[in-house]
Chain A
Amino acid sequence: MQKRLFFSIVFAALLASAQAFGAQGLNPSAKAKAVILLYLDGGPAQTDMFDPKPEQGRNYAGKYLQDIPTKTPGLRFGPKLPLLANMSDKFSIIRSMTHHSGAHEIGHYYMLTGDMQVASIVYPSYGTVVAYMSEPGYKNILPPYISVTEASNRFNEAGFLSPIYKSFDTGGDPTRTPFTVEGIVNKGMTDQQLARRRVLLAGIDSLSANVDVSAPIQKLNQYRAQNYKLILGDARSIFDLTKEPKELRKAYGSGKFGQSCLLARRLVQNGVKIVNVRFTGWDTHKEHFARMDERLAEVDQAVSALLTDLDAKGMLDSTIIVMGGEFGRTPKVWYDPPWNGGRAHFGEAFAYMVAGGGFKGGRVLGKTDEKGEKVIERPVYPSDLIASIYALMGIDPKGVLPHPVYGNIPILPSFNKPNQSAGILTELF
């Protein structure tokens, strides 16, 4: 008995010291248990959404000349987000995101890794880091990090970590029935056929008795057994959106983004740690306002439904929602050809939405100048946003990650560095 106690004390001490040195693991007392990233890939126009500048007239606001009030006194949104405006107490807006880059790939890298040093080391995205950190104790059958339906390949999300922590791409289209999921839901494949193939394979799959016992082959056998459990088990039903009440499905909107948001909720409900709902097509150089009309309606419906749904299920307090892109768009409309009323890339000042998991609602952080072209109050850099997500998830933002060649290196190299960080978002906690 005493011996056991001694060992458990030693073990606890070891664990504590390991955590102090940035080992894998999430702090179990952390408020947030999961993250849903609503990634508006291409760069959404902040001045048409959460930082409207109608007083600047047509040259800046385009056709969105009338902003709208929100539930939060003094806070106004662009005209196409009425549902969100009506529930602005549930989330907060950052109006002072900045990283100064107008290049897609650099923007993606900054916004998803927080690293603005860009030395010779490519960092992992925060999705990958959350997956890596959550590994000890992660018992779920689904991968910890899932992209609906596909992660971007514009930089290598795994960074220097093993690619096994990268997001699992569902593929397919969640508006279709059945929603095919690579490896999990294979359209038209019956259980009977799966079983038949399995037997066929078993009978013709021997390299030689000797090789069959080697480590890689043992692993293959183990993975097969594990995967058949996944394929034939409950995992499929997690992806089956027809299991949701019809009314709720409708509330999210019938488009791909809406149904993806609903799927994200189901995944988080089933223990997935981070879901990246990637909504592409925000690179609106041309036909900007027509495209925004459509897209903003989708965002307004899906995100308000998601927040309402999470709240109703008691999941909002433990689920972080983050929405934004790799940068924003020029506050000034480009009316000259060939753009004819488009907006270009803009990394000086743009907006992000955060909610849940410890982020308070009804607040606005940061301020831009009257035209929206400069941050004039409380800049927020990518590393600050990610450090805040880490802190809420129980990951030390000043911790380290293991690089296979260089050993332990900072998890967020830009955090607390001048011009790359202005501090954790305690104003929103």
Chain B
Amino acid sequence: MRKWLLWSCLLISFSSWANSVDKLVDKQLAAKGISSSPVCNDEVFLRRTYLVLTGRIPSPSVAKSFLESKDPGKRDALIDQLVGSTAFVDQQVLKWGDLLRIKSEFPSNLWPNAVQAYNRFLKEQFAQNVPYDQFVKNILLSTGSNFRYPAANFYRAFQKRTSENIADNVAVLFLGARDIPSDYTFFFDQVKYKKTDEWKEEIVYIDKDVNPKISSVRMDDGTILYLAKESDNRVPFVEWLVSTENTQFAQVMVNRIWYWLMGRGIVDAPDDFRRSNPPSNPELLKFLAAEFVNNKYDIQHIFKIILQSKTFQRSSKTTANNVSDSVYFSHYLLQRLTAEQFVDATGDITGIHDKYMSKVPEPYSYFPEDTRATTLGDGTVSSSVLELFGRPSRDNSFEKNRINDLNYRQVLYLLNSSELEQKLQKSTILQEIYANKADMNEVINNVYLLTLSRYPSDAERKYIMTFKKDYFGSKSMTINLTWALINSKEFIFNH
């Protein structure tokens, strides 16, 4: 143990994790004859990092101070500040809420109290940076009341609660596999449910009187696991699942993180691990998984080493040579803002967030005024615009249940939505900007910082000035400019 610690200290001091990621990516790019794009500028880095880690756009004051800072280590400092922050935790809760299909009603039917408890559980886990293997154990070995032992909701979130559905879901979530040997279902045959006197409370328990249908199961890697009456048969399975020998377990999670940060998995789709769908860079996947295991399944560590890499920080501007690459990470891939990112960003810009309510149960409940879409926590609570921008239905656990393609209706909304128009018209934040209309340059600067987290270029400023005859410094000019920037490619795509 001590020896291991010593080695890891040495490793930390002599090599940079980021370099290892870059070495493996660059090695492959060189072999394929693909050039890489240069590292992006500070403006792009700031916005990209904020969006992928927190789901938010940086505030004007954050943008100002980051852009003005001369500290050469400011990128790493930002990464350290954001990984593990409250907004980061919220973002992780959102991701896992999608994967675990947290929804009051159809088809998970968890019920609002249980949904809240389940969200609180996730929040605690990510705030404490619980090691991933422990996190998975906490979920899969859970029993008890849906209100008091919220992880047990994992076993309730099925319209049809069969051991087949449970095993299939475990496979997708933790092995990235879309089909698994039918033998794996036997480990979940003892999971049972009972109601209590409290309204909608339900206890998940293990019925140890259930005779196993089989006495042993030979796992894919050759390990033989034994099942027995009078013991919780999930235990041998979960121990096998999270063991360091089961490399796929670690690979699936690091690949998910990679997918979340880069917009494409090393194995893509991230829940489609199979021989005929190999990783685009096997060495990179192996390296990240080994890092994960050697650091005791520290989720935040994996985030950091990816974020610190040049690979993450590459510009989305392609070169003539790498324009057609979308697989080997030669440049950053454009990603349309997700539904929650988009809605929360328009809320942050205008200071007016959408209102949410739940119709389950009657009487309806209303969420606080400043609730962010990111923290709704319940797939049943939604809005037309969230649905429009591809918020996942939480009907299944596939990553691509979140559909981030751009479609024409989203563009229609951006161009001419009355909802968005109302927010712009009523915004007191914009009002403050145009109230100080004496200095046209200031107005333009402030709108740019507010929407795009950067200052305008000279060319942009000059172009906007050509409109000054029409509406110099007026309310409509401020609103029109904000509208235009929200409609710009730079806003629509995280780039």
Residues on A facing B (Cβ under 8 Å): 104-106, 108-109, 118-122, 143, 150, 153-156, 158-160, 162-164, 166, 168-169, 171-172, 180, 182-189, 193-194, 196-197, 200-201, 203-208, 210-212, 214, 216-217, 219-220, 223-224, 226-228, 230-231, 283, 285, 404-405
Contact = CB atoms under 8 A, between A and B. Distances in A.
Interface in B459-491: 460, 463-464, 467, 470, 476, 480-481, 483-485, 487-490
A211 B317 contact: yes
Interface of B: 105-107, 109, 158-160, 165, 168, 178, 316-319, 323, 334, 336, 359-360, 362, 380, 382-384, 387-388, 390, 393-396, 398, 400, 403, 406-409, 411-413, 415-419, 421, 460, 463-464, 467, 470, 476, 480-481, 483-485, 487-490, 492-493, 495
Contact of A203 (B106, B408, B463, B483): B463
7 contacts: A163-B387, A168-B409, A171-B418, A186-B417, A203-B463, A211-B489, A219-B406
Contact of A164 (B409, B488, B495): B409
A120 B484 contact: no
B165, B384, B483 interface centre (most CB from chain A within 10 Å)? B384
A158 B403 CA distance: 12
Nearest to B164: A120
Contact of A194 (B387, B409, B416): B416
A205 B106 contact: no
Contacts of A187: 418, 421
A403 to B, nearest CB: 10
A206 B418 contact: no
Contacts of B487: 201, 205
A163 to B, nearest CB: 6
Name which of A108, A153, A162, A283 has the most chain B CB atoms within 10 A of its CB: A153
B412 A227 contact: yes
A153 B380 contact: yes
Contact of B158 (A104, A120, A205, A210): A120
Contacts of B382: 153
A120 B159 contact: yes
For the complex of A and B, list the 9 residue pairs with the smallest distance between their C-beta atoms, beginning with the closest.
Answer: A156-B393, A183-B412, A223-B411, A122-B395, A105-B106, A105-B105, A223-B408, A155-B106, A201-B484
Contact of B406 (A143, A189, A220): A220
Contacts of A155: 105-107
A120 B418 contact: no
A227 B495 contact: no
Contact of B416 (A154, A184, A214): A184
A347 to B, nearest CB: 15
Contacts of A194: 416
A205 B484 contact: yes
A106 B411 CA distance: 33
Contact of A197 (B107, B384, B484, B489): B484
Contacts of A196: 467, 470, 480
B413 A182 contact: yes
A214 B165 CA distance: 40
A159 B487 CA distance: 29
A154 B407 contact: no
B395 A184 contact: no
Given A182-B419, A204-B463, A207-B495, A214 B484 contact: no
B143 to A, nearest CB: 23
Nearest to A194: B416
B460 A156 contact: no
A207 B412 contact: no
A58 B28 CA distance: 81
Contacts of B470: 196
B106 A109 contact: yes
B106 A201 contact: no
A205 B487 CA distance: 8
B393 A186 contact: no
Given A180-B418, A216-B334, A227-B412, 20 more contacts: A105-B106, A120-B160, A120-B168, A122-B107, A143-B409, A150-B384, A153-B387, A154-B105, A156-B394, A186-B417, A186-B418, A187-B418, A194-B416, A197-B480, A200-B467, A211-B316, A217-B493, A223-B407, A227-B411, A231-B415
A16 to B, nearest CB: 31
B393 A154 contact: no
Given A158-B393, A220-B411, A172 B418 contact: yes
A312 to B, nearest CB: 33
Contacts of A219: 406
Nearest to B361: A104
Contact of A228 (B168, B406, B415, B464): B415
A211 B464 CA distance: 23
Contacts of A158: 393
Nearest to A206: B489
A154 to B, nearest CB: 6
Contact of A186 (B105, B334, B416): B416
A216 B493 contact: yes
A196 B481 CA distance: 11
Contacts of A207: 316-317, 489-490, 493, 495
Contact of A183 (B160, B360, B390, B409): B409
Contacts of A104: 105
B165 A120 contact: yes
B411 A224 contact: yes
A182 B485 contact: no
Chain A CB count within 10 A is highest, among B398, B484, B485, for: B484
A122 B480 contact: no
B430 to A, nearest CB: 15
Contact of B106 (A150, A154, A217): A154
A118 B160 contact: yes
Contact of A200 (B105, B336, B484): B484
Contacts of B107: 109, 118, 122, 155
A252 B487 CA distance: 39
